[in-house]
C-alpha cells in the first residue's frame, strides 16, 4: 500500500520497569504523573466506550465529538470540525424463505434491493456462462456456488440468462461477507456454506428472496484541534474515533483517539504544540473517508509543509508495539527505542491517504486481537496506552527538536 514502507516493532513491556519517561517539559515525569496520564487516557477510552458503537452518521457520534471537543478545549486547544459525505451501503436484513422457513443471509455489498418470489434453480458448478446454458433460470432465482470467478461475473451471467435473483453459497461452512463490485439489476444474497448447501440438497422448487438494502448519503465529521493561530503545522497526529456497528470499539479505536488526546495534553504547554494539529478522524471503518477528506480538502502547499503524519490505531491491546511507515521514520523510531525489529505487513488505516499524498507517515498499532470488530472490544490496558504515548512523545522530540528548544525556552521563561 505504501511504497518503500517498513514496519518496525518496539518491544516495550518488560524492557523497562521504570515509568519515568522523558517528558516534553524537558524533565522526567514522575511515577505519579505518569500514572495520572494513563488514568486520563483510560478515562477517555471508557467515556467513549460507554456511548456504545460509534457508527458514522449516528447521534452517538455527536456525543463522542462533544466529549473530544470538551477535552481538547480543557487542554487549551481550539477545535473545529470538518464534514464530508459519502454513499453508504446498508443491509437491513436479507434472507430467503423456502416452504415457510426463513434462512438468513447477507446481501452482497452493493446489491440492489428486491423481493422476488420465483422458481429456485441450482446452477451447476460455479456459475460460468456455460453452467447457466445447462439450466433454465429465466424468471427464476439462481442458486450458485462461490469460487473460481468473481461474484459480479456470476451475478451478471445469471442476469443475462434471465434470472430475477441470485443466491451465492459459500464454499466453506462459515458466513460469506462479499462485495459485488459492479452493477447488476438483480438482487444478490450470500448464504453461509452450512445454510446454503443444505438448501441445495433439499432440492427446493420455489422460494422468496428478500434483499433489503439501501444506499444512503452519510455525513462524517472530523475533529481538528490546534493551538490558536497555528495554521501550518509540521505534524498531524491522528486516529479514527468511529467504530464498526455492534462494537464499542475500545481498542479499535478509542485507544488511538485517547493516545492522540494524551499527546496533545502532554505537549500543550510546550513549543511543540505550535507545530502540531491533532485530528480525530470519522468514517474510517467505511473506507478511510475522514482521512481521505482531510487530505483532499487540504491545499497541496499545506500538505508539503508537513514533516510527518502520526497515526494510532489499535494501541490498547497486545504487549508488542508495532510501528510502520516510511523508511526514514521507521529508522527514527528505531533510534529512539533500543529493541526494534522490522515487520512486513500493515493494516489499512488513516495514514494511507497521507502516504498517497507523499506525506511521510508513522503508524502505531499493536496487531490483531480476538475482539477486533466484535461486541467484545470493550476494554484496553491503561499501561499500553501510556507506553504508546511515551514512544510517540520521544519520536516527536526527535522530529521537532523540542527536547532542547523546550528546555531552553522554559529555562528562559523561568529566569525572566
Which residues are at the interface with ligand BES (CB under 6 A)? 252-253, 284-285, 287-288, 313-314, 347-349, 365, 368
Cβ neighbours for 41, distance < 8 A, ≥ 6 positions apart? 258, 259, 261, 262, 382, 385, 386, 389
The minimum distance between CB 368 and Zn ion, in angstroms, equals 11
**Site size for Zn ion, by CB under 5 A?**
3
Query: Which of residues 285 and 403 has its CB atom nearest to ligand BES in the complex?
Result: 285
Q: Are 111 and 188 in contact (CB under 8 A)?
A: yes
Query: Which of residues 24 and 285 has its CB atom nearest to ligand BES in the complex?
Result: 285
Residue 368 binding target from Zn ion, ligand BES, none, CB below 5 to 8 Å by type: ligand BES
Q: Exposed, middle or buried by CB within 10 Å (0-12, 13-18, 19+), for 25?
A: middle
Does 313 interact with Zn ion (rule: CB under 5 A)?
A: yes
d(CA 235, CA 255): 20
Residue 365 binding target from ligand BES, Zn ion, none, CB below 5 to 8 Å by type: ligand BES
Query: Which of residues 212 and 343 has its CB atom nearest to ligand BES in the complex?
Result: 343
Q: Exposed, middle or buried by CB within 10 Å (0-12, 13-18, 19+), for 369?
A: middle
Does 252 interact with Zn ion (rule: CB under 5 A)?
A: yes
d(CA 399, CA 404): 12
Q: Are 378 and 49 in contact (CB under 8 A)?
A: yes
d(CA 235, CA 94): 45
Does 255 interact with Zn ion (rule: CB under 5 A)?
A: no
**Residue selected from 94, 111, 170, 253 as contacting Zn ion according to rule CB under 5 A:** 253
Helix ranges, 298-381 (H)? 300-304, 327-336, 351-356
Give the three-class secondary structure for 305: coil
Rg of the chain over all Cα atoms, to the nearest angstrom: 25
Cβ neighbours for 9, distance < 8 A, ≥ 6 positions apart? 320, 321, 322, 323, 340, 341, 342, 343
Does 243 interact with Zn ion (rule: CB under 5 A)?
A: no
Question: Interface with Zn ion by CB under 5 A: which range of 24-32, 56-64, 170-178, 244-252?
Answer: 244-252
Closest CB to ligand BES: residue number: 347
The minimum distance between CB 372 and Zn ion, in angstroms, equals 9
Q: Which residues pair with 340 in a beta bridge?
A: 10
Residue 44 binding target from ligand BES, Zn ion, none, CB below 5 to 8 Å by type: none
∠ CA(101), CA(107), CA(108), 5° rounding?
A: 140
> Which residue carries 525572566 as its cell?
416
Residue 347 binding target from Zn ion, ligand BES, none, CB below 5 to 8 Å by type: ligand BES
Residue 159 binding target from ligand BES, Zn ion, none, CB below 5 to 8 Å by type: none
The minimum distance between CB 416 and Zn ion, in angstroms, equals 45
The minimum distance between CB 353 and ligand BES, in angstroms, equals 10
The minimum distance between CB 276 and Zn ion, in angstroms, equals 21
Question: Interface with Zn ion by CB under 5 A: which range of 136-144, 249-257, 262-270, 363-371?
Answer: 249-257
Query: Which of residues 196 and 290 has its CB atom nearest to ligand BES in the complex?
Result: 290
Closest CA to 121 of 151, 87, 161: 161
The minimum distance between CB 368 and ligand BES, in angstroms, equals 6
The minimum distance between CB 256 and Zn ion, in angstroms, equals 7
Q: Which residues pair with 365 in a beta bridge?
A: 322
Query: Which of residues 93 and 348 has its CB atom nearest to ligand BES in the complex?
Result: 348
The pairing of beta strand 213-226 with beta strand 361-365: unpaired
Residue 287 binding target from ligand BES, Zn ion, none, CB below 5 to 8 Å by type: ligand BES
The minimum distance between CB 12 and ligand BES, in angstroms, equals 17
Q: Which residues bind Zn ion (CB under 5 A)?
A: 252-253, 313
Amino acid at each position: 500500500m505504501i511504497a518503500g514502507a517498513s514496519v518496525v516493532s518496539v518491544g516495550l513491556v518488560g524492557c523497562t520497569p521504570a515509568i519515568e519517561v522523558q517528558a516534553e517539559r524537558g524533565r522526567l515525569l514522575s511515577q505519579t504523573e505518569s500514572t495520572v496520564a494513563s488514568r486520563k487516557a483510560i478515562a477517555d477510552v471508557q467515556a467513549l466506550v460507554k456511548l456504545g458503537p460509534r457508527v458514522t452518521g449516528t447521534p452517538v457520534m455527536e456525543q463522542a465529538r462533544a466529549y473530544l471537543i470538551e477535552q481538547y478545549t480543557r487542554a487549551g486547544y481550539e477545535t473545529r470540525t470538518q464534514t464530508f459525505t459519502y454513499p453508504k451501503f446498508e443491509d437491513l436484513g436479507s434472507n430467503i424463505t423456502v416452504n415457510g422457513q426463513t434462512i438468513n443471509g447477507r446481501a452482497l455489498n452493493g446489491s440492489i434491493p428486491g423481493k422476488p418470489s420465483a422458481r429456485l434453480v441450482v446452477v451447476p458448478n460455479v456459475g460460468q456462462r456455460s453452467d447457466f446454458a445447462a439450466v433454465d433460470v429465466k424468471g427464476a432465482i439462481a442458486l450458485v456456488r462461490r469460487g473460481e470467478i468473481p461474484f459480479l461475473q456470476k451475478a451478471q451471467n445469471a442476469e443475462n440468462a434471465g434470472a430475477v435473483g441470485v443466491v451465492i453459497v459459500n464454499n466453506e461452512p462459515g458466513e460469506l461477507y462479499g462485495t459485488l463490485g459492479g452493477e447488476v439489476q438483480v438482487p444478490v444474497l450470500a448464504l453461509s456454506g452450512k445454510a446454503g448447501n443444505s438448501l441445495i440438497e433439499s432440492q427446493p422448487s420455489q422460494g422468496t428472496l428478500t434483499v433489503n438494502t439501501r444506499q444512503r448519503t452519510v455525513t462524517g465529521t472530523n475533529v481538528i484541534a490546534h493551538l490558536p493561530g497555528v495554521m501550518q503545522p509540521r505534524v498531524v497526529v491522528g486516529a479514527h474515533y468511529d467504530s464498526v456497528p455492534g462494537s464499542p470499539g475500545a481498542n479499535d479505536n478509542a485507544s488511538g483517539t485517547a493516545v492522540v488526546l494524551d499527546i496533545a495534553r502532554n505537549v500543550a504547554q510546550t513549543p511543540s504544540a505550535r507545530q502540531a494539529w491533532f485530528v480525530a478522524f470519522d468514517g474510517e471503518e467505511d473506507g478511510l473517508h475522514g482521512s481521505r477528506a482531510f487530505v483532499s480538502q487540504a491545499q497541496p502547499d499545506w500538505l508539503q509543509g508537513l514533516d510527518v503524519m502520526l497515526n494510532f490505531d489499535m494501541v490498547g491491546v497486545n504487549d508488542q508495539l508495532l510501528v510502520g511507515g516510511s523508511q526514514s521514520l521507521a529508522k527514527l523510531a528505531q533510534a529512539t527505542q533500543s529493541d526494534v525489529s522490522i515487520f512486513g505487513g500493515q493494516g489499512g488505516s488513516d495514514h494511507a491517504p497521507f502516504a498517497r499524498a507523499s506525506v511521510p507517515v508513522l503508524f502505531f498499532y499493536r496487531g490483531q486481537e480476538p475482539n477486533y470488530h466484535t461486541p467484545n472490544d470493550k476494554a484496553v490496558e491503561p499501561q499500553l496506552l501510556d507506553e504508546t504515548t511515551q514512544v510517540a512523545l520521544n519520536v516527536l522530540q526527535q522530529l521537532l527538536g523540542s527536547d532542547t528548544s523546550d528546555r531552553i525556552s522554559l529555562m528562559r521563561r523561568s529566569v525572566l
